[in-house]
Chains A and B, each alone.
Chain A
Amino acid sequence: MSTSSTPEPHGPTAGGTGDQDPARASDRPPSGSQTPGRWGFFTGRSGLVIPLLLAAFATYLVVGNLTMSIPKGADFPGPTFFPWFLAAVAYVLAALLVVHYLRHPEVPAETSGRTYTTFSDWRAIAWCVGGFAAFAVLLEVLGWVLAAGLLFWCVARGIGSRRAVFDLVLGLVVSSLIYLTFGIGLGLPLPSGVFGLFAGGN
């Protein structure tokens, strides 16, 4: 489409069709310095995380293939045969996806009445992810009841509950009920953690 592929010095904001232009990929402004913060290069292009993920995974496969210790005398389609193929396909797909996301940035459906700047509610996600990470770390230390109660509290808070004390009590009730039903009733191996210390006699 465009004949000018050389990076131009930044003029005023790009003209009408510039948005769809792949050539724009070459003039990468230091994010947010030229344009008012909200409309940087990456606005609507957060989808690039998908090809990034794919390429990272392909690289993991390549590194794994190169460092694999293959027993001698393995016949032709060895253990690295299929992963090599996958890695190659993954790189090609990642490249295609980069082109796709550069050419089709996401345009917000309607901006009126929006009070938020990012599409995703990162605060809510942080509470959920953080809560689960804490749960994974603390599970075997604190035991099921406390760790799961804490997880419940974090997620409830992240999704918008504001009754901190009530949520904590509810979380502990839920986790205790699960412990009784699945741990003691059905015999699933749930860690008792600090409570186990008190009941350690048995």
Chain B
Amino acid sequence: MDQLIALFGGFGGALSPMNLLWVVVGCLLGTAVGVVPGLGSSMAVALLLPLTFALDPTGAFIMFAGVYFGGLFGDSTMAILMNTPGQGSAIASTFEGHAMAKSGRAPQALATAAIGAFVGGMIASTVVVFLAPKLADLSAEFGPAEYLALALFAFVATSSIVADSAVKGLASLVLGLGIACVGIDSFTGTERFTMGVPEMFDGISIVTVTVAILALGEVFHVAARIRRDPEGHEMRLSGRPFLSRAEFREALPAWLRGTAIGLPFGIIPVGGSEVPTFMAYDVERRLDRRRPDPQFGRGAIRGLAGPEAAGNSTTGMAMGALLALGLPVSSTAAIMLAAFQQYGLQPGPLLFTRAADLVWALLASFFIAMIVLLALNLPFASLWAKLLLIPRPYLYAGIMVFCGLGVYATAGQPFDLFLLLGLALVGFAMRRHDVPLAPLMIGLVLGPLFETSLRDGLLSSDGDYGVFVAHPIPVIIYLGLLVVLAFVVRAKLRARASHDL
């Protein structure tokens, strides 16, 4: 019950006119960026991250909640209408969603996606409210060994699951970990890899790297391809995006199943909601095959409802894991973590006691953001597609200008602009050659935690590595990691076998 009282307090904070305005602005901006082809929700957060430094922390995070979830709604709108998922998590929605749109049921598809995202997000937020404080209590006992195990889990899972080849994933991870090493060493005060440049003493800002990798590099990629790829076809929309009672009843079980599949992946660090959305899609397809009249392939409403709910429930839970454990499980969560750190706040067990007002207002704003987004997306989804009428050159030119604005405003020095450009070229090369970017982000954000835990543990045990498996929790995490790896290897072998046929 304590949680409910705290949550109501949070609503009190979040429902002030100013904060309400930030939620709505965040939802609008997030959806807008998510709708733009090639840009996903993590880019929405990355681009808008620096702009919130003019706000107080509560207002900023409330706006982030809107941007974050809004980006997800925008991703799936584009996945359905144009078959261009803005982010890996929206890929599973393209299969049946776009098929629905092609068969003239685009409004119903958009409604299914919006309600699915709403259901998944709402349930996840409710679970977070009750679970996060318990998680925080649990993690208050975590020491270096536990954090090392969690970080290692995130590293290995992200780079092996998301990547098509584990080597590419690990390469990306190592780059991120290496970038995180730059700056003054917190143990000994030694300058590391700064080349004596004073601007690098504090390390390379996560904001700079994020904008470079996810935004600027992405624009370079778009520029490199824009005259190469055929243009996507926009589906014509007719009718209002509402579901009939029969359609609603059809989709409801898939929404709930998708939510259930998505929830655990918010805490298991496997690199975001790509895995659960595909799992939800797969479950619905298997169930569909047993029915007398299989719908899949022709625009099955369940094949869209499941992944959408799964994606948003993972995202909601991921926010809970971030707040309670300080552990980002996706690149978007990693950027949110960076935002907390910019304000001098460290997510994790202590956040619930030190900044309780902020945490509960943020959790309350999740619920508000969900309702605002449903209101914005259900009736107006077709209006969002009109954003595509902005000529591409001006769209991407504007995004470049915003990248420059954000990084200069946070760093306050032109040096970071050059750093931004260099890193963006690295990001572009990686994007071009199918090296996943998520492991780099995870490595960058969790690198310091990993290194600190490793050295802390070794210092206290005089170099004895046994200290990392001396307690039950790390051992359980490592066993979980082995199970995940076994699954990955099995899936890869199977894919290879079916590929040969």
Chain A: residues with CB nearer than 8 A to chain B? 46-47, 49-51, 53-54, 57-58, 60-61, 64, 68-71, 74-79, 81-83, 86, 89-90, 93-94, 96-97, 100, 116, 119-122, 124-125, 127-129, 131-133, 135-137, 139-140, 148, 151-153, 155-161, 167, 170-171, 174-175, 178, 182, 186-190
Contact = CB atoms under 8 A, between A and B. Distances in A.
Interface residues of B, number: 67
A68 B394 contact: no
Interface in B372-390: none
Contacts of B454: 77, 82
B405 A155 contact: no
B459 A77 contact: yes
Given A71-B188, A124-B224, A124-B226, 13 more contacts: A50-B168, A51-B171, A54-B175, A61-B181, A68-B191, A70-B188, A90-B171, A132-B420, A136-B404, A136-B417, A157-B393, A182-B409, A188-B54
Contact of B414 (A140, A153, A161): A140
Contacts of B429: 49-50, 53
9 cross-chain pairs, A with B, having the tightest CB-CB distances, nearest first: A136-B417, A161-B393, A186-B54, A155-B397, A120-B224, A156-B393, A64-B193, A79-B185, A159-B393
B224 A125 contact: yes
Nearest to A175: B401
Given A133-B421, A188-B409, A116 B228 contact: yes
A71 B184 CA distance: 13
A129 B409 contact: no
A171 B397 contact: yes
Contacts of A120: 224-225, 432
Which residue, B178, B226, B454, has most C-beta atoms of chain A within 10 A?
Answer: B178
17 contacts: A46-B433, A50-B435, A68-B190, A69-B191, A71-B189, A74-B188, A77-B459, A78-B188, A86-B174, A120-B432, A121-B228, A132-B420, A135-B417, A158-B393, A167-B393, A174-B397, A189-B409
B219 interface: yes
Given A50-B430, A135-B404, A83 B226 contact: no
B455 A83 contact: no
B426 interface: yes
Contacts of B165: 100
Contacts of B220: 125, 128-129
B426 A53 contact: yes
A159 to B, nearest CB: 4
A78 B185 CA distance: 9
Contacts of B463: 76-77
A174 B408 CA distance: 17
A139 B417 contact: yes
Nearest to A178: B405
Contact of B226 (A61, A77, A121, A122): A121
Which residue, B165, B224, B396, has most C-beta atoms of chain A within 10 A?
Answer: B224
B21 interface: no
- Interface of chain A, main secondary structure: helix
B224 A121 contact: yes
Nearest to A71: B188
B198 interface: no
B224 A160 contact: no
A93 B167 contact: yes
Nearest to B169: A93
A3 B166 CA distance: 30
B167 A96 contact: yes
A52 B421 CA distance: 19
Contacts of A170: 394
A57 B176 CA distance: 11
A50 B397 contact: no
A82 B167 contact: no
A116 B227 CA distance: 10
A86 B178 contact: yes
B398 A159 contact: no
B396 A155 contact: yes
B418 interface: yes
Contact of A160 (B170, B226, B462): B226
A159 B397 CA distance: 8
A89 B181 contact: no
Nearest to B428: A125
A86 B170 CA distance: 11
A139 B187 contact: no
Contacts of A189: 409, 412
Contacts of B435: 50
Interface in B416-444: 417-418, 420-421, 424-426, 428-430, 432-433, 435
